[in-house]
Structure 1
Amino acid sequence: MDRGQTQGERKRAEEESTEGASTSSLVSPKATGVGSGPYDVFLSFRGLDTRNTFTDHLYHSLIKAGTVPFCVFRDENNIPIGEKFDSEIFNAIVQSKISIPIISENYASSKWCLRELVHIMDRKKSASHIVLPIFYKVAPSDVRHLKGNFGNAFHSSRKHFDEKDIQEGQRALNEVSYLNGWESQKIADGHEGKLIERVVETVISKLREDFQLDVPEQLVGLDDRMKEIMNWIDNPSINARMIGIYGMGGIGKTTLAKCIYNQLSNKFVHVASFQMFEKLPGAMEV
Structure 2
Amino acid sequence: MMASSSSSSSSLALIWLYHVFLSFRGEDVRKGFLSHVLKEFKSKGINVFIDNEIKRGESVGPELVKAIRHSRVGVVLLSRNYASSSWCLDELVEIMKCREEVGQTVMTIFYNVDPSEVRKQTGDFGKAFDETCVGRTEEVKRAWRQALNDVASIAGYDASNCDNEADLINKVASKVMAVLGFTPSKDFDDFVGIEARIMEIKSKLILQSEEVKVIGIFGPAGIGKTTTARVLYNQLSPYFQFNTFLKNIRGSYEKPCGNDYDLKLNFQKSMLCQIFNKEDIEVRHLGRAQEMLSDKKVLVVLDEVDNWWQLEEMAKQPGWVGPGSIIIITTEDRKLFKALGLGIDHIYEMKYPTSKESLQIFCQYAFGQKSPDQGFESLAREVTWLAGDLPLGLRVMGSYLRGMSRDGWIEALPWLRSTLDREIESTLRFSYNALRDNERTLFLHLACLFAGIKVDRFKRYFANSSLEVNHGLEVLAQKSLIFIEYGLIQMHRLLQQIGREIVKKQSMEEPGRRQFLMDTKEISHVLDEDTA
Query: What's the TM-score bracket when you normalise by the shorter of the two chains?
Result: 0.5 to 0.7
- For residues 120-168 of structure 1, what are the alpha-carbon distances to aligned partners after superposition, in whole Å with 9 as ceiling and x for unaligned? 1111111220000111111111111111111111112221534332110
8 A Cα contact 1:44 1:116, kept in partner? yes
Which of the residues 36, 51, 55 maps onto 1:75? 51
TM-score when normalising by structure 2: 0.31
Q: Give distance in 1, aligned partners of 2:50 and 2:96.
A: 18
Q: Give distance in 2, aligned partners of 1:192 and 1:162.
A: 39
Question: One-letter code of the match for 2:178?
Answer: S
- For residues 3-58 of structure 1, what are the alpha-carbon distances to aligned partners after superposition, in whole Å with 9 as ceiling and x for unaligned? xxxxxxxxxxxxxxxxxxxxxxxxxxx66689951111000001111122212211
- Verify: 1:63 aligned to 2:42, yes or no: yes
- Verify: 1:132 aligned to 2:107, yes or no: yes
Q: 1:175 to 1:85 in 2, by over 3 A?
A: closer
8 A Cα contact 2:20 2:46, kept in partner? yes
Pairwise CA distance, 1:209: 6.2
Q: 1:98 to 1:81 in 2, by over 3 A?
A: closer
Q: Give distance in 1, aligned partners of 2:5 and 2:80.
A: 32
- Verify: 1:108 aligned to 2:87, yes or no: no
Q: 1:32 to 1:109 in 2, by over 3 A?
A: same
- Verify: 1:193 aligned to 2:169, yes or no: no
TM-score when normalising by structure 1: 0.57
8 A Cα contact 1:45 1:113, kept in partner? yes
Pairwise CA distance, 1:177: 1.0
8 A Cα contact 2:3 2:16, kept in partner? no
- Verify: 1:45 aligned to 2:21, yes or no: no
Q: 1:180 to 1:81 in 2, by over 3 A?
A: closer
Matches for 1:215-254 after TM superposition, within 5 Å: none
Aligned equivalent of 1:88: 63
Pairwise CA distance, 1:196: 0.6
8 A Cα contact 1:138 1:150, kept in partner? yes
Q: 1:125 to 1:31 in 2, by over 3 A?
A: closer
Aligned equivalent of 2:139: 164
- For residues 216-266 of structure 1, what are the alpha-carbon distances to aligned partners after superposition, in whole Å with 9 as ceiling and x for unaligned? xxxxxxxxxxxxxxxxxxxxxxxxxxxxxxxxxxxxxxxxxxxxxxxxxxx
Q: Give distance in 2, aligned partners of 1:181 and 1:124.
A: 15
Q: Give distance in 1, aligned partners of 2:56 and 2:154.
A: 36
Question: One-letter code of the match for 2:168?
Answer: L
Pairwise CA distance, 1:106: 0.7
8 A Cα contact 1:34 1:40, kept in partner? no
8 A Cα contact 1:43 1:72, kept in partner? yes
8 A Cα contact 2:60 2:87, kept in partner? no
Query: Structure 2: any 5+ residue segments left out of the alignment?
Result: 7-14, 184-233, 244-273, 278-532
Q: Give distance in 1, aligned partners of 2:3 and 2:143.
A: 36
- The secondary structure found in structure 1 opposite 2:31 is coil
- The secondary structure found in structure 2 opposite 1:132 is strand
8 A Cα contact 1:98 1:129, kept in partner? yes
8 A Cα contact 2:16 2:71, kept in partner? yes
Question: One-letter code of the match for 2:93?
Answer: V
Query: Structure 1: any 5+ residue segments left out of the alignment?
Result: 1-29, 211-268, 280-286
Pairwise CA distance, 1:75: 2.9
Aligned equivalent of 2:181: 208
Question: One-letter code of the match for 1:75?
Answer: D
8 A Cα contact 2:51 2:64, kept in partner? no
Q: Give distance in 2, aligned partners of 1:137 and 1:81.
A: 25
Q: Give distance in 2, aligned partners of 1:150 and 1:80.
A: 26
- What is the number of equivalent residue pairs in this alignment? 182
Aligned equivalent of 2:96: 121
Q: 1:118 to 1:33 in 2, by over 3 A?
A: closer
8 A Cα contact 1:44 1:113, kept in partner? yes
Q: Give distance in 1, aligned partners of 2:30 and 2:136.
A: 23
Q: Bigger relative contact order, structure 1 or 2, given CA contacts below 8 A and separation 6+?
A: 1
Q: Give distance in 1, aligned partners of 2:173 and 2:149.
A: 25
Question: One-letter code of the match for 2:61?
Answer: D
Which of the residues 173, 178, 202 maps onto 2:148? 173
Pairwise CA distance, 1:208: 1.2
Fraction of identical pairs, as percent: 34
Q: Give distance in 1, aligned partners of 2:3 and 2:150.
A: 33
